[in-house]
Structure 1
Amino acid sequence: MLNRADKHVPATREARRVGSATGSQGRGGGSLALAWDLARGRWGSLIGTFLALGLAVGILSMTGLVFASARPQVPGRYAGAAVLVKTPSTGGEMDGFFYPDKPWSPEQVRSLSERLSRIPGVAAAVPDRTFYAQAVVGGKPVAGDTQGYLWPSAGLAPYRLAAGRPPAGPGEVVVSRALGLAPGRRVTVLTAAGPASYSVSGTVAGPGHYFAQARTGGVRVIALVAKAGTDVTAIERAARAVVGAQGLVLSGSARSATEPLSDVQTRWFGYQILSGMAILVAFTAVFIVASTFAFGVAQRRRELGLLRTVGATPRQMRVLMHGEALVVGVAAAATGVALGTACAPGFGQALVDLGFQPRSFAVQIQLWPLVACFAAGLVVAQLGVWAASRRAAKVTPLEALREAVVDERPMTTGRWVFGALFTLVGVVLGVFIAGESDSVVQYAFYAAGSLIVGLSLLAPAVIPPLVRAVSWPVRSGAIGLLVRQGALTAVRRTASTAAPVLVTVGFAVLVTGMVETNAGANGLRRAAAVQADWVLAAQGTPGLTDAAVSAVGGSSTLPTIVYAGGGAPVGAAGVAGKIKADVIAGDLRNLRGTRTMAVAEWAARERGWRVGTAAPITFEDGRSTPLTVVALLRSAPADLLLTRQAVRDHDPSALAGPVYLADPPAAPVEAGSGIEKVADRMAGIEEHEDKLVWVFVLILVGLSVGYSAIAIANTLLMATANRTTDLRVLRLSGATTGQVLRTVALESTLVVAIGALLGIVVAMTALVGITTGLTNMIGMTVGMILPWPVIGAVIGICLLLAVTASVIPARAALQPPRP
């Protein structure tokens, strides 16, 4: 079938300009000017690239502004402290969970406080002691406000009395004005020991509960309140001389290092979403831009051949393609930066509402993220056009004489080499996942990404046999023959359309399947760990008090953090009664008193501990005590087990975990706790976790589908516009308009089916490794779970987009020209 010669008139006109440019600016300047003219003339075919780049830069700008704004903040309750002295950092993170740094010992706190208070200009040196305290109003614990302090800490904000007076005795408390309690009222306050009634002596404008005296944990911050007019720099310098290696001295914005660990954890979750979005957007944008430009080169071979005929050199052809990408990149990046700046505040607030940023978070418009994202857009455009420019440089002058659009050599040596390499890496990573326990998800994404790149490069070689296999049922008949041969003849067009479907379906199957499979594994693990019908669980509080546990006659673990081996944090738990654990060595019955411990085998091996070893352990109150190892465990509720009394002696804020019961208690339970069926409790936990995870999943899948829409529509619009003559020849050959449109629709359906099939293969390879890895991790057989309704919806959207983007322009092309 022949293309219309008149559609190459613009190329001929520009070819004359290349001839002039070749003679006068052989170093490429004329090619850049020509790139601008060609981009303006071909803007309709570049609109998909513009949208993909613009959307990418917009999302990158939006996430970049949020990322730049999501920095640690100085806690509001330290606003009145000019200088903070905190304990040295001990890492604070283990296995992805954040732990507080090791506290000072009581002797260190007394010594440092006395010496710091004598610094000239220091009005007070206040050890900040915190503990669990939560008011009960209207029979329910007040959510969010769970911290108790000694009264001197109120002056660090400073929180001044709004009404009443400071607490004067053990039965009085100052509470937040937000509770609506006037001085003289009684209020029940939950502590780790249980509920107690206090008289409200006063109220303050800020959060917290302030006591005259209380049993507190260790001290990690000593706040220095400066006298009016004192040089803070001088205080900071003197404090460093006093503290030495015993702590860190912070002033100004550096005080943000003392922000609550709950905010650190929340921000960390937000970082995961932002990083996932940025990586997916950058990967997909390069992928789509490369696919679009490669397809454009395949369609413009005659035009490029004309340019070569009038003297354009291969170098000028590469400059021409990069110049077009630069023109599109500048326009798209500028649009994207403006879009991202406008959307960033709303996106930041959405993250706060979803619990992925602290309540104090607010987006700040800064210049450097926008400049970086603008530059990233240009880099993405140049990376996307790199392979296409090399292919354009290889077009020969004889291509100007060709009229048939047939892919004679769709697979180049580079595509074979890199396609095979990426596919091999993906397969190897998929196999490696099966033996990996700590980074299953990370390696799954690596495997899927490598396979997607590899299969996309190998698509022109893989697609012909797939076309024959998928189109086998419709091989007979005129329409079936046209669809089959059209896909086999225009392999590059088929590959360029199938590539975004492959990316979209692959990521959708991988991410949703991973979430569902992991949820199933968690369900198996919880079901195996619990052998009871009822559970006493915290409701509106961080955990259960001692009184709540004792009231039901049960027992539960008492989680805490201890420090060993140079101050490294270790997750520990106090236990009582019979313990379900797999003992490797020693005897768990010897776990008694306050000077013994049972240790997970891996933790003991890491520290060189054996049964009988006495090791110094630092507790939450800062005191260090040598504990003797009485047993090594393969599996246990925590890495280090202590008696419940040992934990309570050193951690007055430790709250118990759920208590599992055979029968529900007859008496009412304490406020802040409730009796539930175990099945309902597990379902509630999974529902909460699934909600957060699915927010992340929907963001990623939504981005992927959005990019697929742009890529599919752009590729098919370009392809259909280039096939106008072909479609009209079919019409003149006797085919009805309906038959031509059905042919086009079936071609699109075939391409989507191939892309979806390849995407499912990619995802299944990674998911097989994930299920094997989870099976090895939890010691139970984990089955692969795929949410087929979601996957079907994604494939259906791709199909709808493909058919719409091909049939509508085809119908317009078949309309008779207006007189």
Structure 2
Amino acid sequence: MISFSTVRERWLAFLGSFVAVALGVAVVTMSALMLLSGGTGVPERLAGAPVLVRAPTGEQVGGQFAEPPPWAPERATELGRKLARLKGVRAAVADRSFYAQLPGTEQDKGERQGHGWSSAALASYGLHNGRAPARPDHIALDRSYGRKPGDRVTVLTADGPHRFTVSGTLDGPGYYVTDARAAALAGGVRVIGLTLEPGTSAADVVDAAERAVAGTAGGGEVLAGKDRDALAPQQDEMTRWIGAQVLTAMAALSAFVTVFIVSSTFAFSVAQRRREFGLLRIIGATPKQVRRTVCAEAITVGVLGAAVGAVMGSAVAPSVAGVLVDAGLQPEGFAVLSRWWVPCAALVLGSVVALVGAWSAARRAARVAPMEAMREAAVDERPMTRRRWAAGLVVTVLGAACAVGTAFAGSDTMVLLGLGTAAGLAAGLALLIPVLVRPVVGALTRPLAGRPGATSLLVRENMRAAVRRTSATVAPVLATVTFAVLITSTVQTTETADTDRQAATVRARTALAPAGTPGLSDAATATAGVTRNAMLSTTVYGGRGQVALTATGVGGGFAKLYGHHAPPMDSVVVTESVAAAHGWRQGRSAMLTFEDGRKERLRVAEVLGDGEVPYQLVLPRAVVRAHDPSALADVAYRTGEDTLPQLGGALGAREVSVQRYASSTEAEEDRLVWIFTLMLVAMTAGYTAIAVASTLLTATADRALDLRILRLSGATSGQALRAVAGETVCAVALGAVLGMVVVIPALLGMVHGLRESLGVAVEAVVAWPWVAGSAGGCLALGLVASVVPAYSLLRGPVGRPGARMG
């Protein structure tokens, strides 16, 4: 009851903790609901088949989403015949897919939207108008394109644009041609769909299909019901994976920052209430009872805040999911599923987080001596304890060690060490701020001491005397500037360095890049006369576990572009990391599975260093084209003096600078990274804004007596407000300066590491707009949180100084 009454009477002091817990639980609830929601479901074009058989998946590497290796042609034929003979099965349809696109439409890289007409039997939709394709130049397509039977259309394929006559329109996506035409354009078979006789149960067929698959060399996986969701497009799976990383990071950051804010808020509250705890000790309260009182206050705030947060998180999850879909962090069709136990678990988590955050402050309150009730001075005589000294020095040293390690780390650990540098130095300086306040504030405000008038001197001495109050204001500003500036500067520096590296690895004048298409067709590169310099992209499977590997087919221009000879027809060039992972050595052979399901044993002609080429394998162009009829070139380079001809929009290609192409290769990934970055920065800034506002609101409300004494001493309301505003400006400036002190070594260490790992000149890019924005935002918020309540306190009549103590 005492704790509840205290929270109710001193609600302003606990407002920051309440808001932090509510927001933290809302983010955790929202993130958990989205993470536990399913995918987008089975694709429409396969949803009409109750049972689907998928080729066995190869080994999946974290963060990599590739289709499973296809069956060998003879295995697919044998399995299809076995499945077609099963009782209750009407037909076993082998799904063949190839690249097809109408000019002017959007399509992601790697999408294959063309299919043989027999695959239409597997779809959940059918013909809307017209009839099935009967000739090689017939095509059926989605009616949303606005075409009708009899129209002539141009469709882009891997070997170039082709003219088709629309034989029919469909109620769903895709381009359907005759099976013979699809077999010539497509690679291997990965999915066989089973259509069933009327009255046949899918469950009855599944067992028989599994036995048929088990008895066929190569195997496979039988899917029915919700298990068919595993066939969702790999692009959707990758998007969901990226979204999961964002949501996990948001939830983890929310939990961590909530603990930080609750901890700092309760620590400041305990420091402000030392006389109150001293009085409790005088009237007989034991240290254990004082500790339980503070913990009960934390649980009260935690339960109330968590309840609000759980409701808020459940309510906003669908809307936030829509925003993530629009931003490309969740696939189209993603929907949030409601689970009652998630907000309940978040409610418990919020209460625990609040208790954990307040535990240190509760122990400190228990150590308050009864004589503190007689303490009148506002000067903080011993703001640092031995434990805080030790913790601050150790964490600072660890942060400095991370900065040194960043300068010599590889690209996979560089970002983590950079964040470790920021976290270590920021936490260390935050712990050591009470030591730094008096000398640093004294040095920075020395010019104020010589200025006429008492306001400047009052600002300077107040900050040096109230070390805890100043430290509590500086710490969140330090954290805001550090993480906002470091995260944005790191992203900009890394993006610039990666673009420079890619542009430096290839010796070319310009690049022929795709324009509105996922890649370049053979017709585009041939028309431009750069086929020998084209990078024909495909995926092959090899090594232990049939891992998906990115590969390119190159022609005679490869030696001039990259300084290495193109491999002979029976050979392959591999990168160093791939060779080490799979035990491949120069002169030895490697068994590879291609897009048509066929296997070849190729000799390893050369092992290149990682980063020398933007692929894991380099193959002869003829080998790639023979095994992957649907392969497209990522880019083709111009090395001579002649300019490329104007290709027009029909071929989907344009000439750009090598630098521009390098920057555009990962434009979508960079966009998602920036969205992720902005979300983290906004979340960090939002939480630290809560801490700044809460600290200043509490501190200003607690200074009513100081402000009255100022008025009685002859100060005007304007002078008192200028003193409060001056302290806020100085605290924010100190936090911003310390934040940049943390950012600089972390950023310089990362720049040195990038130079060593990439082998190109890398310059640090400091996001100065974020420096100004983060510091300016903290200043504006701090002035509102301090000046407004001070103005409210100064509006009333000036009473006697002891009135507050009565």
In structure 1, how many angstroms separate the alpha carbons of the residues matched to 2:614 and 2:646?
29
Per-residue deviation, 1:276? 2.6
Shift of 1:814: 2.4
SS of 1:93 mapped into structure 2: coil
Partner AA of 1:81 in structure 2 = A
Q: Which amino acid aligns with 2:675?
A: V
By how many angstroms is 1:672 displaced?
Answer: 4.4
Q: Which residue of 1 aligns with 2:378?
A: 405
Q: Aligned partners of 2:343, 2:553: CA distance in 1, in Å?
A: 51
How far apart in 1 are the matches of 2:147 and 2:10? 71
- Indicate whether 1:81 and 2:81 are aligned: no
Q: Tell me, yes or no, if the aligned pair for 2:483 and 2:681 is still in contact at 8 Å.
A: yes
Q: C-alpha separation between the residues in 1 aligned to 2:559 and 2:365?
A: 68
Please give the residue correspondences for 1:613-692 in structure 2 after superposition, counting only pairs within 5 Å.
Answer: 613-634=588-609, 635-661=612-638, 662-669=641-648, 671-678=650-657, 681=661, 690-692=670-672
- Mapped to 1, the partners of 2:594 and 2:423 lie a distance apart of 45
Partner Cα distance (2:272, 2:798) in 1: 27
Whether 1:240 and 2:240 are equivalent positions in the alignment is: no
SS class of match (1:734): coil
1:306 and 2:279 aligned: yes
Matched to 2:151, the amino acid is R
What's the counterpart of residue 523 of structure 2?
A: 547
Instruction: Answer yes or no: is 1:221 the counterpart of 2:197.
Output: no
Measured at CA, do residues 562 and 666 of structure 1 come closer, stay the same or move farther in structure 2, by a change above 3 Å? Answer: closer
Contact kept? 1:189, 1:195, Cα under 8 Å: yes
Which residue does the alignment assign to 2:678?
698
- Which of 547-556 and 745-754 deviates more? 745-754
Deviation at 1:685, TM superposition (A): 5.9
CA deviation map 1:84-127 (0-9, x unaligned): 22222223336x43222222111211122122222222222222
Distance in 1 between the 2:206 and 2:380 partners? 73
Going from structure 1 to structure 2, the CA distance change for 1:227 and 1:737 (only over 3 Å counts) comes to same
Verify: 1:377 aligned to 2:350, yes or no: yes
Q: Which runs of 5+ in 2 are unaligned?
A: 800-806
Letter in 1 for 2:745: T
Mapped pair 1:91 → 2:68: no
Residue pair 2:51, 2:206 contacting (<8 A) in 1 also: yes
Aligned to 1:485: 461
CA displacement at 1:663 relative to structure 2? 4.3
Out of 661-670 and 766-775, give the one that drifted further.
Answer: 661-670
Q: Which amino acid aligns with 2:434?
A: P
Task: Note the alpha carbon deviations across 1:678-724, whole angstroms, 9 max, x for none.
Answer: 16555666876654333222222222222222211111111111111
Residue 419 (1) aligns with residue 387 (2): no
In structure 2, relative to structure 1, the CA distance for the partners of 1:638 and 1:698 (3 Å cut) is closer
1:569 and 2:545 equivalent? Answer: no
Aligned to 1:391: 364
Q: Distance in 1 between matches of 2:64 and 2:414?
A: 17
Indicate if the aligned counterparts of 2:459 and 2:727 stay in contact, CA closer than 8 A: yes
- Among 451, 471, 475, the alignment partner of 2:425 is 451
Corresponding residue for residue 583 of structure 2: 608
Shift in Å, 1:250: 2.0
CA distance in 2, matches of 1:92, 1:522: 26
The percentage of aligned residue pairs carrying the same residue is: 46
Q: Give the aligned partner of residue 167 of structure 2.
A: 201
Give the alignment of 1:332-351 within 5 angstroms.
332-351=305-324
- Determine if the alignment matches structure 1 residue 50 to structure 2 residue 21: no
Separation of aligned partners in 2, 1:369 and 1:766:
38
**In 1, Cα distance between equivalents of 2:39 and 2:562:** 44
**Residue identity in the other structure for 2:250:** M
* Aligned counterpart, 1:108: 75
Q: Residues 384 and 773 (structure 1 numbering): CA distance in 2 closer, same or farther, change over 3 Å?
A: same
**What amino acid is the match of 2:153?**
V
Within 2, Cα distance between the matches of 1:97 and 1:367? 33
Contact 1:551 1:669 in 2 (8 A): no
Contact 2:524 2:647 in 1 (8 A): no
Q: How many residues align?
A: 779
Secondary structure (helix, strand or coil) at the match of 2:540 reads: strand
SS of 2:596's equivalent in the other structure is coil
User: What is the distance in 1 between the residues matched to 2:6 and 2:236?
Assistant: 52
Distance 2:391 2:764 in 1: 31
Kept after mapping to 1: 8 A contact 2:539/2:549: yes
Contact 2:535 2:554 (C-alpha < 8 Å) held by counterparts: yes
Q: Does 1:39 align with 2:39?
A: no
Q: Any idea what the Cα deviations from partners look like across 1:292-344, whole Å, max 9, x if unmatched?
A: 00000000011111111222222221211111111111111111122222222
2:732–2:779 contact (8 Å) kept in structure 1: yes
Q: Which amino acid aligns with 1:561?
A: T
CA distance in 2, matches of 1:581, 1:777: 24
Matched-pair contact (CA < 8 Å) for 1:519–1:686: no
- Compute the RMSD of aligned alpha carbons: 2.3
Out of 694, 700, 716, which is 1:736 matched to? 716
Aligned to 1:156: 122
Distance in 1 separating the partners of 2:98 and 2:500: 35
Write out per-residue CA displacement over residues 526-569 of structure 1, whole angstroms, 9 at most, x where no aligned residue.
Answer: 43245545432212211010011100100311011111213122
CA contact (8 A) 2:506 2:562 kept: no
Which residue number corresponds to residue 24 of structure 1?
A: none
Given the superposition, is the C-alpha separation of residues 398 and 228 from structure 1 closer, same or farther in structure 2, using an over 3 Å criterion? farther
Give the SS at the match of 1:149: strand
Query: Aligned-pair distance for 1:183?
Result: 1.6
Q: What TM-score comes out, normalization by structure 2 length? A: 0.92
Distance 1:396 1:142, change over 3 A: closer
Q: 1:119 aligns with which of 86, 89, 93?
A: 86
1:196 is paired with a residue whose SS is: strand
Instruction: Say which is worse superposed, 288-297 or 667-676, in terms of deviation.
Output: 667-676
Q: In the alignment, is residue 265 of structure 1 matched against residue 235 of structure 2?
A: no
Deviates more, 1:416-425 or 1:564-573: 416-425
Q: Distance in 1 between matches of 2:731 and 2:449?
A: 15
Aligned equivalents of 2:535, 2:668: Cα separation in 1: 22
Change (3 A) 1:237 1:469: farther
Q: Give the counterpart of 2:270 among 294, 297, 301.
A: 297
SS at match of 1:134: coil
Deviation at 1:653, TM superposition (A): 1.2
**CA distance in structure 2 between the aligned counterparts of 1:246 and 1:234, rounded to whole angstroms:** 20
> What amino acid sits opposite 1:659 in the alignment?
A
Structure 2 SS opposite 1:217 = coil
The CA deviation at 1:818 is: 8.8
CA distance in 1, matches of 2:232, 2:731: 53
Query: Who is 1:469 aligned against?
Result: 443
* CA displacement 1:739-773 (0-9 Å, x = unmatched): 22222112111211221122222222322222122
What is the SS of the residue equivalent to 2:199?
Answer: coil
Q: Deviation of residue 291 (structure 1)? A: 0.5
- How far 1:428 moved relative to its partner? 2.2
User: Relative to structure 1, is the Cα distance of residues 526 and 565 closer, same or farther in structure 2, using a 3 angstrom cutoff?
Assistant: closer
User: 2:141 aligned with 1:175, yes or no?
Assistant: yes
Alignment of 1:312-323 (within 5 A): 312-323=285-296
Maintained 8 Å contact 1:548/1:669: no
Alignment pair present for 1:802 and 2:772:
no
Report the AA paired with residue 79 of structure 2.
L
- C-alpha contact (below 8 Å) 2:12/2:697 kept by paired residues: no
Pick one of 728, 732, 737 that aligns with 1:757: 737
Checking the alignment, whether the CA contact within 8 Å between 2:67 and 2:234 is kept in structure 1 is yes
Q: Does the residue aligned with 2:149 lie in a helix, a strand or coil? A: coil
2:637 is paired with a residue whose SS is: strand
Q: Which residue of 1 aligns with 2:537?
A: 559
Question: How has the CA–CA distance of structure 1 residues 297 and 581 changed in structure 2, closer, same or farther, with 3 Å as cutoff?
Answer: farther
For 2:599, give the aligned amino acid.
S
